[in-house]
A and B are shown apart, each in its own frame.
Chain A
Amino acid sequence: GAVVSQHPSWVICKSGTSVKIECRSLDFQATTMFWYRQFPKQSLMLMATSNEGSKATYEQGVEKDKFLINHASLTLSTLTVTSAHPEDSSFYICSAPVTFEQFFGPGTRLTVL
């Protein structure tokens, strides 16, 4: 099956700093990727849809100036959490669609101190 990687797998940062998370499709091209956030003991919540070569589409309630998404190539999407605060601490997961199926990255655990 298709493989999606994420980097880093975990990151700890100080409040006020920015953090970049990468999502890569390793063996296929993805014109669209999705970013989810998962708080402890909760479900995955779609944050935004990343579109190669165009602006991302954000879900209602997600601050696009805080969560910057760049989909610069057919195999890479990045999520940058700007001016991170402790409430941004969460598990971030990306996915990419292949033939009516979603392939998920292993996730990135972000802890903001």
Chain B
Amino acid sequence: AQTVTQSQPEMSVQEAETVTLSCTYDTSESDYYLFWYKQPPSRQMILVIRQEAYKQQNATENRFSVNFQKAAKSFSLKISDSQLGDAAMYFCAHLYNNNDMRFGAGTRLTVKP
């Protein structure tokens, strides 16, 4: 079974600075997808970024980028130029076969003005 581990329950970053959230996963599959979701106080899950395992190039979305290390089963999220609106819970997730999505425990990000 897939498992996802986020070892940082809480992180803090100064506004305009850069922060990296860690995620590791365990899977026996070779083809899968990885995601970072943001959950603000409204609790709506918002997709931040998606990575396909067969692509070696790291995904980027504006200020958000990932460091995908397939062999190490590591998938960290880097947020550059942090903004107050980035404050939220961030969940790393693993999806296999368009079906089974598993989430990490989450990291609460605080952005200090």
Contacts and interface: CB of A to CB of B under 8 A. Distances in A.
Interface of A: 32, 34, 38, 42-46, 49, 91, 93, 95, 97, 99-102, 104, 106-107
B44 A107 contact: yes
Contacts of A101: 33, 35, 47, 50, 95
B101 A91 contact: no
Contacts of B45: 44, 93, 95, 104
A104 B95 CA distance: 14
10 closest Cβ pairs, A-B complex: A104-B45, A43-B103, A44-B103, A43-B105, A97-B98, A106-B44, A107-B43, A43-B106, A100-B98, A100-B33
B102 interface: yes
A38 B42 CA distance: 13
Interface of B is mostly: strand
B91 interface: yes
Contacts, number: 46
A95 B45 CA distance: 10
Interface of B: 33, 35, 42-45, 47, 50, 52, 91, 93, 95, 98-106
A91 B47 contact: no
A104 B42 CA distance: 13
6 contacts: A43-B91, A44-B91, A97-B99, A100-B33, A100-B52, A102-B35
A34 B101 CA distance: 9
Contacts of A32: 99
A106 B106 contact: no
B103 A102 contact: no
Given A43-B103, A46-B101, A106 B42 contact: yes
